[in-house]
Amino acid sequence: MKHFLRPVEIESSVVDRVEAVTKKCLDAARIKADDGTWIFQPDGAGKYPGRIYFRDFCYAVEGAGRLIPPEEMAAAIDFLMAGQREDGLMANCVYTDGRARYTIHGDKPPTDNAQFAVKLIDAYTDHTRDFELLDRHKNAIMDAMETLPLSDDHLVWIDPANPHSSYGFTDTVGMTGEVLYSSLLYWEACMILAKMCQRIEDHDAAHTWFEMADKASQRMSDFRDERNGMMHAASVECNQIDLWGSTYAGVVRALSKTQTVRVGEWLFDHYDRCFLRGAVRHLPAPRYWQQMLADYPRGTYQNGGYWPVATGWAAMVLDRYDHATAVMLLEDAADLLEQEDAPEWVNETEADGRLYLASAANVLGAMKRA
């Protein structure tokens, strides 16, 4: 489903530079599982060794699928799907020996793997126009979506009495209540499934998924702060401005055109609070998350670090308000990816992780040759 905002037009030389870094990350992250399947780790430097994740591989395929052989994409997806439990729950990651892990922080699974399974298969079919893999897994991904915890308002829910990881790129953050990012992914995945069902003329299922998407969309505005146009990360703990969620809402068109421009304007007006060297903080400086699930010092990792993973979304939204600033952000990101070897995150004094695939692929996916 082609549902994203248009990429940012930028000089071909910048695209070439980011593509070269992405290819380097892909080559380094690609390893063989015990059964001979080529899989892709989140990074090529050994920080997350010997495993593949739905969310990381989805970003790689969405942003850089044309650089991956289709047969390797399909085999890696099959490998991930084999980790699904009998109750429909998707694995958080699958190791090279086929073992699946389902939780991260807390005793319940993160709230995004089902959506990323849907998005990953959709991205594969967009790149290849091969629908056999979808036909093979369509029932499994629908079952997975049924495992998500939803509130009465059909938004993804985390019990405040039992905090656990939500979206994997904020898995150390103790968001509770209705959570924005996973809810955006849920709405997006419902729309994808509805259109998939339309394609195979399963009209009853299509109606059901459109209805689920509509129910979620009706309450998505609950996250939005009318005073500034930005969206908050959660309804209970960590009810704070969410830069990643606000920009992604614009990218997937969960916000109106006017609302998306307003987010772009806010980013423009608060640029120095949001960006560093072309990377994006999770929440604007000098704020930190109200509740954490793991002990990371302030100013690092997911509690004040700046990540290239979200740069492309921010650039696409900024482009709706000020094209020159969007281009500057992507050019800064290209410099960062080259200079620091595609870091996972940076702050004012350090760059952590190397050859982090989602950092490069998500920036690449937001670019279009001018």
What's the rounded Cα separation, in Å, for the pair 254 and 256?
A: 7
- pLDDT score at 291: 98
- pLDDT score at 4: 84
Q: CA neighbours within 13 Å on the CB side: how many for 183?
A: 34
> What digits encode the pLDDT tens for the residues 321-361?
999 999 999 999 999 999 999 999 999 999 999 999 999 99
Mean of pLDDT values over 196-213: 93
- pLDDT score at 127: 94
> What digits encode the pLDDT tens for the residues 215-240?
999 999 999 999 999 999 999 999 99
Asked whether the predicted pLDDT for residue 128 surpasses 50, the reply is yes
Mean of pLDDT values over 56-75: 98
What's the rounded Cα separation, in Å, for the pair 132 and 125?
A: 9
In this structure, what token pair is assigned to residue 330?
A: 């992507």
Angle at 283 between CA 279 and CA 286, to 5 degrees: 95
- pLDDT score at 200: 87
Q: What DSSP line would sit under 107-154, residue for residue? A: SS--S-HHHHHHHHHHHHHHHH---HHHHHHHHHHHHHHTTS-B-TTS
Asked whether the predicted pLDDT for residue 154 surpasses 70, the reply is yes
Mean of pLDDT values over 107-114: 97
Say if residue 349 is exposed, middle or buried (CB neighbours under 10 Å; 0-12, 13-18, 19+). exposed
Asked whether the predicted pLDDT for residue 1 surpasses 50, the reply is no
Asked whether the predicted pLDDT for residue 129 surpasses 90, the reply is yes
CB 132 within 8 A of CB 123: no
Domains and CATH numbers, the chain: 8-369 (1.50.10.10)
- State the amino acid at position 53 in one-letter form: Y
Mean of pLDDT values over 4-30: 97
- State the amino acid at position 24 in one-letter form: K
> What digits encode the pLDDT tens for the residues 182-193?
999 999 999 999
What's the rounded Cα separation, in Å, for the pair 240 and 200?
A: 41
Asked whether the predicted pLDDT for residue 3 surpasses 90, the reply is no
Residues 6+ apart with CB under 8 A from 13: none
Q: pLDDT class for 118, splitting at 50, 70, 90?
A: very high
Pairing verdict, β 177-178 and 8-10: unpaired
- The mean of the pLDDT values for the chain is 97
Mean of pLDDT values over 298-319: 98
